[in-house]
Every structure is written in structure tokens, then in C-alpha cells.
Structure 1
Amino acid sequence: MPQQEPSAREKLEQILTRLTVRKADERVFTKLYLETARDEADAADRRSAQGASRGPLDGRIVSIKDLFDVAGEATLAGSIIRQTATPATNDAVVVERLRAGGAVIIGKTLMTEFAFTAVGLNPHYRVAANAIDPNRVAGGSSTGAGITVAEGTSDISIGSDTGGSVRIPAALNGVVGFKPTAKRVPLEGAFPLSPSLDSIGPLARSVADCAIADAVMAGEAIAVPEAVSLSGLRIGVPHGQLFAAMEKPIADRFEQSLKGCEKAGAVIAECSIDDLIDAMADATSAGSIAGIEGSRVHAEWLHDETLDVDQRVRRPLLARLSVSQAVYINLMQRRQALARQMDQRIADFDIFALPTIPIAAPLIASVVANEAFYKHTESLLLRNTQVANQFDLAAISLPLPGLSLPGGLMLVGRHGADRRLLAMALSVEQLLSKLV
């Protein structure tokens, strides 16, 4: 007889037992909701017994990034200066929707301070190590989200993605990470970094689980889309600057994945976007959109040097406060024009494919000891993923097969084509599973 799946409560208790063992050295979760999680798991089990399931998310163990409001507590967003902030009066909209879908919210996960950096270090917390190699970084800013899914202490974790903060930790920890089209998932109750770029997306061990969580948070019909056949699928590959400085194992596995898609009937074609990337770099020469908008979010405290804030966050935000409103407005108008051009470029294809990140996770000791290496690493981690945010596209990172240190295959779809992108990702995921 097939082994019976554990109940939601049984699975939750198995996870909590693991977390109890490491309680004195917990680095992934910043807060656990023991009582409410047990209540939610019991309620899910009762619904299951009564045949009254709320859908495929019911009873699943879900963690949330430490920037989502939970009623009755201050939202820290990875920062100790918010410990005295006014408690949230309501759950964030996505948290409300997850609970309504039957999710068991186990706790909040570690993030970099104010979601501004991508390597995964937060000076106010002990370093949370990569789930595959504890000597290496886990990525950010949704640092704990990538780890908890990879180690199995959550089925699904919810993060935010402003320049790659879902897809970077997903790729570095060997899981799936989905960045939806910005504003498709409501941002209310999520502490902002850049209102124009912020997206809320799931990390999970499968595309199907990401699709389920995404549908719940977007308020759409809760279903996994039907996989789109790879036969005849047009995949654009933007070789050029996004492929520079790529480590050989990642380059080899990426090319192997493309050949697998081609063998399955996909049409692989070159599609240069370097001119648009260069134009965006020129448009943001006075400062990144995230930096400028983030400086406005945090303007009240940036000049206070007595506050204990990560200088890798404070210094760049403070520098962007001097960018004038006129320059910012001109930048956003230019961005809209470039986004339209990118949409025209991608319209000839079903998806773009490129490596999520060009490198494997570096050693923690290396980025801690050498600030120049830290900055170089962060630049490489953000380089490819930020394109989807800058040009307002949807993107998903899938684990590349056969790597000793994880890497990601990123599929990028047109603005608003999120569910079709997920449907194509399902087929690519199935193919990748056969290439191991």
C-alpha cells in the first residue's frame, strides 16, 4: 500500500522539531508563529476530513519575508530601528489571501536590511548560510526564503523582488523563484523599497507550487496552468553583456538546457537587447530607480548617523536623496519608453532564456573580508535579474540540472503574461528533470 501523506499538523510538527533542535542558533527564521500555525494546521486537517478543502494551498506550510505586515506586531523589514514602530493593524493583503487559501503561516524569514542588498548579509543578524553549502552566501534580499524552501522547513516561501530578490536566492539555493509583473499582486501591507519596481513572488520546489501561491496572492482562480508544449516554442537568447563573466559550469549547463529545449522542438534564436540595457543604464546614470525611490521612503532618518543601520544600505540611499524630482520624472518617462521598446523586442518570441546569475554562490568569508569583492559579487548577482524589473516584465528562475553548486535558468515573459510564462516554465521544468 502507498504510504499515507502526513497531515498538515504532522508535517508542521516535524518541521518545528527540526527548528527546536537548532533554536539556539536559528538563522533562517526571525519569528515563528507556533500557536497560530498549529491552529491553522488543525483547521486544514478538519477541512480535509470533511471534504471541504479550500484548494491546493490548504494545509501547505508557508513562510513569509520579514517585510509583510502581521496584525499586532511591528514590521521590521530586517531593521532593528523599526523595533519600536507602530504595530500593524491588519495583515498584509497577500497574508490575508494566503490564510484564506488555507496556508499554514509558520513564521517570518530573514532578509537583508530594508531589502536593499542582494548578497544576503544583514549585520544585525548572524549570517544565514546557503542551504547547499554552509560556507557560502544564500543571496538576498529574500535570504531566508530561499533557504527555508531548499531545506524543507517551508513548502512555499513568499518574498519580494525589486531587482532580483526572489530569483537570486532561488538560484543560489537550487529552488524555483517567480517574479510576477509588478503590481499584479497587491503591495498593501508590504514594507516598500521601490514602489515602481517592487513585486511579491513565491519560492518553492516546483513551478506548480509557485503557480498556486501566485494565483492565491493575485486573487485569481487557484489552479496550475496547463503546460505549454515546447514544440514550436520560440525562445530568444539575448547573448551579449548578460552572458559575460559566466562561470563555466553554469555556461555549460545553460547550453545543455537550450539544446534539450531545441531537441524537444523549441526554436532557439538570437535576440540582442544590449542596446536597450545600455539605454536604461544611461537613463539611470544619476541613480537607480530603486535607490531614488528608496531614498524617499527612508528620507526621515537617512541623515541621522546615530542610528544602527547597515552602511551598505544607508550610504547609497543617502546619496540618492540629492537626485531632483525633475530628474526622477524624466527617468521614469524614459523608462516607460524603453519598456515599450523591450516589449516590441520580446514580442517576436514566447520567452527569453538566460542564466539567472552568472556565478555560483561565493564564500561568505570572501565577501565579508573584501569590500571590493562584495561589490563585484553584488553587481554580478543583480545584473541579469534586474532587467525584468527595469523593463516591467515577468520572470522565473528554475534550477539548472547537474550542478554541484546551484545555478538558475531564467525565463522572461512579456508584461502581464504571467500565467503563460508559468505554463511554459512547467514544460521546461519537466525537460530539465530529464537532463540531470
Structure 2
Amino acid sequence: MGEIAVNRSIASLSTLLQTSALDAVALTEAVLEKIAGYADRSVFTTLLPERARAEAQAAAGRIATGRSLGPLDGIPFAWKDLFDTKGSVTTAASAVMTDNAPAEADAAMVSALAVAGMVSIGRTNLSEFAFSGLGINPHFGTPKNAASTDVPRIPGGSSSGSAVAVAAGLVPAAMGTDTGGSVRIPAAFNGIVGYKSTRGRYSMKGVFPLATSLDSLGPLTRTVQDAVWIDAAMRGLTASPIMRGDLSGLKLVVAETVVFDDAEAGVVAAFEQALERLSAAGATITRRAFPVFSEVYALAARHGPLIAAEAYALHRERLQGPDAGRIDQRIAARIRLGEKIATSDYIAILAERQRLIAEFEASFAPDELVVHPTVPHVAPAIAPLDADQDLFVKTNLKTLRNTTIGNVLDGCGVSIPCGTGDAGMPVGFLLSGRRNADEQLLSAALAAEAVIRGEA
């Protein structure tokens, strides 16, 4: 029973818990047992069994006495190892952070989901300092893509462990961060849902940053409904105000600039088939060039990447100190790109970015959403990337290409599985909205999910 229960969505588990058909303690024990028996030991950096058992026991008591906190009460959850959990060290999956003092308090979002009754199972692995879209980590190991059946493939990053934990059925949901695609990419590669919120929608208190002008949060889940419930709890709501949209009124704009360049044929085919299903179900599909997408990369070419400038400011002392050699040199090299970005360039980036955001928001109507493949390729094999630094850099840039646009333009997005490409690997369909259009986005995603997946 434990394995079956763990593999279910939050909505399904919640029904069992709230009707006492499943006990919260038994569910947590099943989760811990499944994690212990999972062959890949690199998915989690830390488990929190004592905390999890105490939280599960409290949830079971509330439900048994008719005092449930709501649909998330007793649901197991995992946290990307950037979020402080009281009493454990936040490592950011870096060897240089492991000797830091344990966190004195939970991150704000850890506290928010605890208030909703969720059970913190542990902390998941990631790309070191969250600075790669591939998910490769030489310190804590690289979690293997849960959907791969041929060779070990990358999980996507940086929220690698969170995605694999959900896709492998170890937990029903996990938290990620997204600075250039770090929720949406691993969701696409592993065949699950990944929601990137508008930056600032949730508190970043107690979250180790990468680039504060770009950092955003979001859950990785089995369904959009699960993400909607978690979103409400993260905002301190007892129920979500988001309503399921109507497919017949859904207006989708297929972006034709940059995002299809050098895309794998299987990815394009899966995406186009999802579009055909959406059109047949009543959605309005149009295609449009978005020159601003090209300008995002022209801006980085002129002045340097914003993410590198802010990452270097954060990590400068580490890169100049005695522990520099302990940092993955592929990550260190990427951070050092920020060293050459002058203050005048940084100021220019910030100013130009606001212009690009305005242009983007003027390029489609308020009732439209932009769509394209989440990533232009399926998850590649780990071994060649680990062995060839040039290939690592090239693949990382291509992996991040489509999703980075959404961060620079300060929008929100949901990646939903839409089929398979090469080697039967998952393909992600990305719906994106302008900043603070999260309710519109999630409403549309609720309506479209089954069609995008080919289930309706």
C-alpha cells in the first residue's frame, strides 16, 4: 500500500487522508521507506525523519479528531537544499557550505507549508549554488533522470533532486527555485509539472539566493491542481481563489523567435501535436514573432549576463578565498563571468531590462498566454557532459535558452508534459504569462493540462 500511496497526486492522497482511509503516519513511513530503498542515493542531501514523524503524528491527531488544517494536512513534501530548515545546514549542494552552522529557523515558505500541515521529509540535491540547468553535481552526486530507461540521463537543474523525487514517486511534491529555468527544465526532463511563479509572489526569507533580480520560487508536482493548492498555502490562504478556466476561451500565442532554433524534431512534433489537441478542444492558437526574445540575448551580449553579475557579487569572497578549489570549476567559471561586468554595464542591464519587459507585455493581449517547448531537446546522457567541459557549457546554454527568457522578462510559467521525443524521453509544453498573471496562468493550466498531456 505504501508504494501505491506515494505514487499518487496530492489531491488523491488528500482524499484518503481526510476520510481516514490512509493514516498520515503510515504515509510518512511509506515515503521514508521508499526513499531508503531507492537505488539512487543522490536525490536527497538530508533527510529529516524525526521532524517528519512528529509532523505526521500531529496531522494524524488533527484529522482523527475532526480538526484538519485543510487538504494539505499530512502530505509529505521535500525542499530544495536552498531553503532553511531549523536545525540543519543549508548546503546549496556545495562542499564549501557543509561546515556552516545549522539554520536557526525555518525559511518563510517552510513555515507557511508547515502551517498548512505539510510534512517536511527532507532536502533535495541541486546544481551547486543553483547555477546550472543540467543538474550535474560532483559533490553530492548527480540524480539520475527518473524517466530514463536506456542510459543515465541528466535530471535537469538546478532543482534536480526535487524533480526526480517527485517523478520517481518518492514524494508527491517538492519545492524548487527558478532563476533561469530551474523549476521548468527539470520538470520537463522528468515528465512532471513545474510552476515558476512571478518573482516576488512569495517571501524569499531563509532561501539562499543566486541572483536576486531573477530568483523566483515554485513547486514541482504531479498535477497542476497540486501546484494550485501549494500556491495558496504559500500565500497563507486556506483555499485557492483560482478557478479552472474554459478551454473554449483560451487564447494561446506560439512564439516563433529563438525558441525553436535547433530544436529536436521529436520535441517539435510532441509540442505541435499538443497544439492540435488544444485547437480541437476549442483553444484559439495563433503564431507570432517576438523580437524581444532576441533582444534578451543581445542585451547579455552587450553588457554581460545579469545572473552572472549578481552571482559574482554573492560569491566573490568564496572565489578569491582558500575554498575556491573546492567549487565545481564549471560552476566557478560561470560565476566568474560576472567579474568582468562593470557597474555601468550592470546599471545599463537593469534599465534595458525594464524596457524589454514593457515591450514584451505590449506584444500580446492581456487575455493571451505565450507557449513554446520548455526545452528544445530531451534530457541528454550524463557521461558525455561530465567528460567534456566544452560540451557541458554548450549544452547548459541551450538547455537554459527558452526558459531564461521568462526570468529576464519577469514572467510566470508552467511546464506540463506533452508527450515524448528521442529515446522516449519526456517533452515539456511551456505556458507563460506576464508578471503577476499567475492566477490567469494557473487557471488556464488547470483547463488545458489533460489535453496537453493527451489524456482528454
Q: Per the shorter chain, which TM-score range?
A: over 0.9
3-state secondary structure, aligned to 1:243: coil
1:12-411 pair list within 5 angstroms: 12-22=28-38, 26-133=41-148, 135-223=152-240, 225-273=242-290, 275-285=291-301, 286-304=303-321, 306-307=323-324, 308-347=326-365, 349-401=367-419, 404-411=424-431
Counterpart amino acid of residue 237 in structure 1: V
The Cα of 1:350 is off from its aligned counterpart by 1.8
Larger CA deviation: 187-196 vs 224-233: 224-233
Per-residue CA deviations over 1:321-365 (Å, capped at 9, x if unaligned) read 232222101110110111011111132552111000111110111
3-state secondary structure, aligned to 1:19: helix
3-state secondary structure, aligned to 1:400: strand
Distance 1:168 1:129 in 2: 14
Q: What TM-score, normalized to structure 2? A: 0.91
Q: Percent identity?
A: 36
The Cα of 1:110 is off from its aligned counterpart by 0.3
Provide the residue aligned with 1:418 in structure 2.
438
The Cα of 1:402 is off from its aligned counterpart by 5.1
Check 1:53–1:250 CA distance in 2 against 1; reply closer, same or farther (3 A cut).
Answer: same
Q: Is the 8 A contact 2:176 2:220 kept in 1?
A: yes
Q: What TM-score, normalized to structure 1? A: 0.95
Q: Is the 8 A contact 2:275 2:452 kept in 1?
A: no
Counterpart amino acid of residue 169 in structure 1: P
Q: Is the 8 A contact 2:81 2:124 kept in 1?
A: yes
Q: Is the 8 A contact 2:246 2:444 kept in 1?
A: yes
CA RMSD of aligned residues (A): 1.8
Distance 1:116 1:84 in 2: 20
The Cα of 1:191 is off from its aligned counterpart by 0.2
Check 1:68–1:53 CA distance in 2 against 1; reply closer, same or farther (3 A cut).
Answer: same
Q: Is the 8 A contact 1:208 1:224 kept in 2?
A: no
The Cα of 1:433 is off from its aligned counterpart by 4.1
Per-residue CA deviations over 1:200-227 (Å, capped at 9, x if unaligned) read 1000000011111122113345327221
User: Is 1:8 the equivalent of 2:28?
Assistant: no
The Cα of 1:376 is off from its aligned counterpart by 2.2
3-state secondary structure, aligned to 1:139: coil
Distance 2:450 2:21 in 1: 23
Distance 1:302 1:320 in 2: 12
Counterpart amino acid of residue 130 in structure 1: N
Distance 1:287 1:105 in 2: 39
Distance 1:140 1:95 in 2: 21
Equivalenced residues, count: 433
Counterpart amino acid of residue 318 in structure 1: R
Per-residue CA deviations over 1:112-168 (Å, capped at 9, x if unaligned) read 110001111111122210001161110110000000000111111001000000011
Runs of 5+ in structure 2 lacking a partner? Answer: 1-14
Larger CA deviation: 173-182 vs 133-142: 133-142
3-state secondary structure, aligned to 1:43: helix
The Cα of 1:74 is off from its aligned counterpart by 2.5
3-state secondary structure, aligned to 2:333: helix
Distance 1:392 1:158 in 2: 20
3-state secondary structure, aligned to 2:248: coil
Runs of 4+ displaced beyond 3 Å: 2-5, 433-436
Distance 1:111 1:346 in 2: 34
The Cα of 1:304 is off from its aligned counterpart by 2.8
The Cα of 1:306 is off from its aligned counterpart by 4.7
Distance 2:131 2:91 in 1: 14
Distance 1:434 1:167 in 2: 19
Q: Is the 8 A contact 2:198 2:436 kept in 1?
A: yes
Q: Is the 8 A contact 2:96 2:323 kept in 1?
A: no
Check 1:323–1:138 CA distance in 2 against 1; reply closer, same or farther (3 A cut).
Answer: same
Distance 2:294 2:111 in 1: 40
